[in-house]
Amino acid sequence: MGGNWKCNGTVEGTRAFATELSGVSLKADVDMYVAPSSLHVCTFRDALSSQVEVAAQDCWKGPCGAFTGEVSAQMLRDAGVTRVILGHSERRTLCGETDLCVRKKVIDALANDLVVSLCVGETARARADGTAVGFCITQLESVMNHVPVSEWYKIIVVYEPLWAIGTGIAAEPETVQQMHAAIRKWLAEHSCVEQAAEIRITYGGSINRTNYRDYVHLDDVDGFLIGGASLSYADFIEICMGSSAGMKTFESEL
Ligand code: PGA
């Protein structure tokens, strides 16, 4: 379960959120991370005393050096950050990140021992013209083909269709399951079924406290990356607590 705060937050609000989170005891089957802005990462880390992990929303594509405005994976790791979101569609579309750029970032992040949330997702046009799966698989393979299979477990695949992010219109559960199954199939074909089953595939795009239950029972949905709703502590906690694998089992038994 991840929270992506994007370009939001204040020092005081970040501290208050982390302090509240510190009182939460997570179920054993829930991994939780929050990605504040890079400005607020250390504030968040310092106020946090729980199993929740601190993530970055992006990192530079290589080692430290003369790269004005950038933060490298090595610097993140040094600051106690354990995860990084890479390939988010807002980075791809607003900042011009190519598949090659995303690949370089993933490789450097893994080399610095960061767990990567790798975002893939199709445009509205690709969804409309029936090429959504191919669109996402191209993004996926442009990274995974260059990472040794033995390291795939350090990558969480995040399916985030562009048309569902921040729009209030989440992809239909059936659409999400189909895409996640296609991603898992690709992973299995390029490793093995057992390994593909271990890789977490999470969904992001207008998940909130009223709709998340429609997704938790889906076979290939292993969690969420939550944007807007993660800015509210109450909403984020409700979604995270309600999405544990335990609830998935419980629901599927009904
Ligand atoms: P959203 O964003 O939940 O606000 O749609 C998700 C994301 O971009 O990670």
Digit-coded pLDDT (tens) for 150-209: 999 999 999 999 999 999 999 999 999 999 999 999 999 999 999 999 999 999 999 999
| Percent of the chain at pLDDT exceeding 70 | 96
Q: Whose CA is nearest to atom 1 of ligand 1?
A: 227
Q: Whose CA is nearest to atom 9 of ligand 1?
A: 227
Q: Of 73, 1, 11, give the one whose Cα is nearest residue 41.
A: 11
Mean of the per-residue pLDDT values for the chain? 94
Active site residue 122: no
Question: What's the pLDDT score for residue 25?
Answer: 82
pLDDT at 17 over 70: yes
Q: Is the CB of 242 under 6 A from ligand 1?
A: no
Helix (H) or strand (E) holding 188: helix 173-190
Question: What's the pLDDT score for residue 23?
Answer: 84
Using the Cα atoms of residue 74, residue 78, residue 83 and residue 88 in order, give the sign of their dihedral.
negative
Mutate to test the pocket of ligand 1, among 165, 231, 235 (most ligand atoms within 8 A of CB): 165
Dmax (CA) for the chain in angstroms is 57
Question: What's the pLDDT score for residue 247?
Answer: 53
Active site residue 198: no
Q: Cβ(242)–Cβ(213) under 8 Å?
A: yes
Residues 6+ away with beta carbon under 8 Å from 167? 205, 206
Pick the catalytic residue from 90, 97, 122, 160: 160
Q: Cβ(156)–Cβ(114) under 8 Å?
A: no
Lowest average pLDDT, out of 15-19, 113-117, 248-252, goes to 248-252
pLDDT at 61 over 70: yes
